[in-house]
């Protein structure tokens, strides 16, 4: 069920799916074509100089993200991936270019299946290809989120100014309890994904509806979510008023788009 307060958010931020673009992406995926993008040489480097991104983040040449999609996904997963790509392509000034996984002439991110979780490398890869790993629990919103990392964004909740907007973040004592209940590896992963990051600048408005913001509870680890909710009874964090942070529902917000455009030096 969609919380009442999220209904207007969906109306504002949900992008209509461009069926023609999806068909083009499917055709590219089937034929392994490289589209119309002109790719700079592997030796070229373009580094982010502004924005909510990690210092040294490499930006995609010609504002074009080269993507390969593994054939091992189900048809439903492929459709979700291409829908997420289309939302980025339609709503931002970035281009997305489907290429063959074996294409060694371009730097690319390979979208591949994994047993659990959703994760991505950040920014354009330097030497080896980047990866987006998606399990069956990764829905369209999760894929949009991971593409956000691929283009260079960090988590909204890891920004230096987050403590003004988010409270009661899991602390080291909490993480020790989680390590005992599950594993040190899981506790380290949570720590890595919640700790404040160093960024180039933190000038953009904090966005409680950003696609890059976690909700209060884990999305892709049901066992951990149930443990935190019903046994430990403590979320990742709350909002400034101590209330649950509802996971963003669908799509990119205007602030997500502005952040990406500022990093890449584009007009909105």
Say what the pLDDT of residue 8 is.
29
- Share above pLDDT 90 across residues of the chain, in percent, rounded to a whole number: 77
- State whether CATH 3.30.70 applies to domain 12-155+251-263: no
Q: How confident is the model at residue 108 (pLDDT cuts 50, 70, 90)?
A: very high
The answer on pLDDT for 96 being more than 70 is yes
User: Which residue in this structure is represented by tokens 């989680």?
Assistant: 178
Q: 244 has which bridge partners?
A: 238
SS3 118: strand
pLDDT at residue number 66: 97
Q: What is the mean pLDDT of residues 33-58?
A: 66
119 beta partners: 133
Dist CA 34 CA 25 (whole Å): 11
pLDDT digits (tens, 9 = 90+) for 189-220: 999 999 999 999 999 999 999 999 999 999 88
Q: Which two tokens stand for residue 202?
A: 């933190």
Q: How far apart are CA 189 and CA 182, in angstroms?
A: 12
The ranges assigned to domains in the chain are 12-155+251-263, 160-196+214-239
What pLDDT sits at residue 250? 80
* pLDDT higher than 70, residue 40: no
Helix (H, G, I), strand (E, B) or coil at 64: strand
Task: Check whether 32 has a pLDDT greater than 50.
Answer: no
Confidence of residue 25 (pLDDT cuts 50, 70, 90): low
b (16+ CB within 10 A) / e for 188-202: ebbbeebeebebbee
Dihedral (CA of 25, 81, 84, 118) sign: negative
132: three-class secondary structure by DSSP: strand
Residue 219 phi/psi, 5-degree rounding, is: -100, -40
Question: Does the pLDDT of residue 182 top 50, yes or no?
Answer: yes
Highest mean pLDDT among 4-13, 183-192, 242-251: 183-192
Q: The pTM is what?
A: 0.85
Q: Can you read off the two tokens belonging to residue 235? A: 């979320």
Residue with token string 């069956």: 136
Q: Which segments of 92-161 does DSSP mark as H helices, in order?
A: 140-151
């Amino acid at each position: 069920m969609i919380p009442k307060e999220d209904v207007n958010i969906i109306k504002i931020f949900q992008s209509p799916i461009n069926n023609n673009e999806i068909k083009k992406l499917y055709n590219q995926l089937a034929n392994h074509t490289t589209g119309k993008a002109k790719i700079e040489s592997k030796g070229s480097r373009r580094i982010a100089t502004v924005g909510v991104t990690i210092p040294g983040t490499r930006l995609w040449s010609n504002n074009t993200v080269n993507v390969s999609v593994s054939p091992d996904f189900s048809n439903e997963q492929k459709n979700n991936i291409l829908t997420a790509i289309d939302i980025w392509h339609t709503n931002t000034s970035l281009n997305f270019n489907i290429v063959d996984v074996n294409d060694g002439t371009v730097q690319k991110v390979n979208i591949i299946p994994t047993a659990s979780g959703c994760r991505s490398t950040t920014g354009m890869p330097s030497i080896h290809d980047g990866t987006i790993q998606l399990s069956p629990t990764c829905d369209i919103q999760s894929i949009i989120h991971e593409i956000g990392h691929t283009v260079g964004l960090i988590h909204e909740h890891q920004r230096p100014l987050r403590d003004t907007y988010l409270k009661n973040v899991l602390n080291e004592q909490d993480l020790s309890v989680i390590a005992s209940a599950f594993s040190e590896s899981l506790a380290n992963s949570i720590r890595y994904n919640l700790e404040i990051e160093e960024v180039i600048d933190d000038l953009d408005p904090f966005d409680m509806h950003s696609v890059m913001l976690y909700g209060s509870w884990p999305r892709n680890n049901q066992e951990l979510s149930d443990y935190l909710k019903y046994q430990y009874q403590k979320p990742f964090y709350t909002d400034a008023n101590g209330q649950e942070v509802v996971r963003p529902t669908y799509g990119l917000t205007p602030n997500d788009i502005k952040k990406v455009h500022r990093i890449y030096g584009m007009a909105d």
